Amino acid sequence: YHVLAKHDEL
């Protein structure tokens, strides 16, 4: 499991 480096949500 990981946290995305870029935020792809609003």
Partner 1 sequence: MNIFRLLGDLSHLVAIIILLLKIWKTRSCAGISGKSQILFAIVYTTRYLDLFTTYVSTYNTFMKLVFIMTSIVTIFLMNAKFKATYDHNHDTFRIEFLILPALVLALLINNEFTIIEVLWTFSIYLESVAILPQLFLVSKTGEAESITSHYLFALGSYRGLYLLNWVYRYYAEDHYDLIAIVAGLVQTILYCDFFYLYITKVLKGKKLQLPA
Rule CB under 8 A: which residues touch partner 1?
1-4, 6-10
Pairwise CA distance, residues 9 & 4, whole Å? 11
**Minimum separation from the CB atom of position 9 to partner 1 (A):** 7
The minimum distance between CB 8 and partner 1, in angstroms, equals 5
Q: Which two tokens stand for residue 2?
A: 């990981």
State the minimum distance, in angstroms, from the CB of residue 6 to partner 1: 5
